[in-house]
Amino acid sequence: MVDFNCKKCGSCCHEYPFASEINFKRIPVFPSELEPLEAHADKHNIDVKFLEDVIVPDMVNEKIIVITYRIILDGENGSCPFYGRKIGCTVDAFKPLACKAYPLAQKRVDAFTRSIEIDPYCCFIEENELKVKNMDENILKEYFKKEFHNSMRLMERNKKIMLKLRMLASRGKIAYPSEVKGEKYDKWLKQWERVYIDML
Ligand code: SF4
Ligand code: SF4
């Protein structure tokens, strides 16, 4: 197996060709990553939109806890608005952690557990015909040094967030419903104030 060497093809910065309303690319942005990205976009006149993605309704305080946003991939040919043709990512200094970890991605095992997987849609992976399923963590670490490190940071961050939510819930400071859909949920989304998990 060869060391990972990004081909700068930009495929990871574009929407899937087969994207649909329910199956689309989610590039997560933590609230702490949002501000520098927005400031950069304002300064350089980049039209970028972020949508709330992972959120938790808190029924004790009647607030929506925002865990992550996602970047709307509505640039040229479904690209991330920060993507520049031939130059690639134009926000290297503020790149979201998830982008720094790519092509390693977090796979959700259950509500509180994730594993690290290789995204088979990365051009490097396709070109080198790498077997991506169930690759040993030590091999991942060796071939994707930087990306593995960032992937672990991402995993740690997610873990800390989940632990914080559980701790707050166990102390009765917040409470989240077991199911988050339906009319009631839509009403909360419209009416409740937003808070970031870092503020709690
Ligand atoms: S922030 Fe940069 S690396 Fe991430 S999707 Fe956008 S252009 Fe690509
Ligand atoms: S898809 Fe893979 S090879 Fe292409 S730019 Fe993204 S990380 Fe690099």
10 CA closest ligand 1 atom index: 8
Instruction: State the Cα–Cα distance between residues 158 and 188, nearest whole angstrom.
Output: 24
The pLDDT of residue 180: 74
> How many Cα neighbours within 13 Å face the side chain of 156?
8
Residue pair 74/49 in contact (Cβ under 8 Å)? The answer is: yes
The pLDDT of residue 65: 97
What is the pLDDT tens value at each position of the chain, 200 positions in all?
667 888 889 999 999 988 888 889 999 999 999 999 999 999 999 999 999 999 999 999 999 999 999 999 999 999 999 999 888 999 988 999 999 999 998 877 776 677 888 888 888 888 877 666 667 788 888 889 899 999 999 999 999 999 999 999 999 999 998 877 788 889 999 999 999 987 88
The pLDDT of residue 131: 67
Residue pair 106/114 in contact (Cβ under 8 Å)? The answer is: yes
Residues with CB under 6 A from ligand 1: 13, 27, 80, 82-83, 89, 91, 95-96, 99
Phi and psi, residue 74, nearest 5°: -120, 25
Residue pair 115/109 in contact (Cβ under 8 Å)? The answer is: yes
Q: Quick one: tokens of 124?
A: 């490097």
Q: What is the DSSP letter of 133?
A: T
Segments making up each domain of the chain, as ranges? 26-199
The response to whether residue 79 sits with its C-beta less than 6 Å from ligand 2 reads no
The helix or strand, by DSSP H or E, that contains position 103, with its residue range, turns out to be: none
* Pairing mode, strands 63-71 and 113-118: unpaired
The pLDDT of residue 2: 67
The pLDDT of residue 133: 65
Give yes or no for a cis peptide into 96 (omega within 30° of 0).
Answer: no
The helix or strand, by DSSP H or E, that contains position 155, with its residue range, turns out to be: helix 145-170
The pLDDT of residue 54: 93
